[in-house]
Amino acid sequence: TAMDKQSSLDRLCSSDYEVSCHYLIDSAGTCYQLVDDSKRAWHAGKSFWRGLRDINSRSLGIELVNSGNEAYPKAQMESLMLLLRDLLAIHKISPQNVLGHSDIAPSRKTDPGKWFDWRLLSENGLAILPKVSLPIDTDKQSFLLDAQRAGFEPEATFEQILQAFRSRCRTNFEGAFDGYDCALMKKFADIFDVDELSNPQ
């Protein structure tokens, strides 16, 4: 949320701002339900995923209290995993459809950022994180085509997609674009391929 708990609650619950979410989890792991699951919240903003632009009407929004420049506490991540297990089971949501703001809006969002532990979610069956052992040819055009095949917005620039993708899949790497980026994106696309997945939650 890039603000403290009380400021986050005040903004998300205020009619003065056109923003809301279904759940907020603070750094201590306390989970607040702000909007009923059956209701639309305003958390995704201008976004795109797998051909869909009205993400708010077909998703549940979870916000985490975090400055954006620090690790997410263990208690917060454990609370998130408990919530995700419940939501995925109740609403029959696939782990493929657990996404971050930067996945659906790479041109304007950077959260949850490089400090977020996508690997932990993946290891617990709550999200998808591709794994590769070898690089492939470094090819920017192929990388972008695979990004679109995965579901990223076609209007986003190469730099925006690379930053968003690395914040999820190569969090500790800051070097030049390389064959591992390409291999990981290809694997990501194979998992998310828009031609193979239908009826996203």
- Does a cis peptide bond (omega within 30 degrees of 0) precede residue 112? yes
Q: Which of 18, 63, 123, 153 is catalytic?
A: 63
What pLDDT does 174 receive?
Answer: 92
Residue of higher predicted confidence among 78 and 201: 78
Per-chain mean pLDDT for the chain: 90
Residue with tokens 């998808």: 128
Q: Which residues face 84 on adjacent strands? A: none
Is 181 or 16 the better-scoring residue by pLDDT? 181
**What pLDDT does residue 169 have?**
96
Give SS3 for 62.
strand
8 pLDDT more than 80: no
> Which residue, 27, 115, 114, is CA-closest to 74?
27
Task: Please tell me which residue, 94 or 4, carries the higher pLDDT value.
Answer: 94
Residue 3: is its pLDDT beyond 70?
no
What is the rounded distance in angstroms from the CA atom of residue 197 to the CA atom of residue 49?
12
- Establish whether 153 is a catalytic residue: no
The pLDDT of residue 68 is: 84
Which residue segments constitute the domains of the chain, with CATH numbers given?
5-192 (3.40.80.10)
CA neighbours within 13 Å on the CB side: how many for 96?
Answer: 19
Rounded to whole angstroms, how far apart are CA atoms 28 and 120? 18
Q: 9 or 135, which is more confident?
A: 135
Percent of the chain with pLDDT over 70: 87
Would you state the pLDDT for residue 17?
Answer: 57
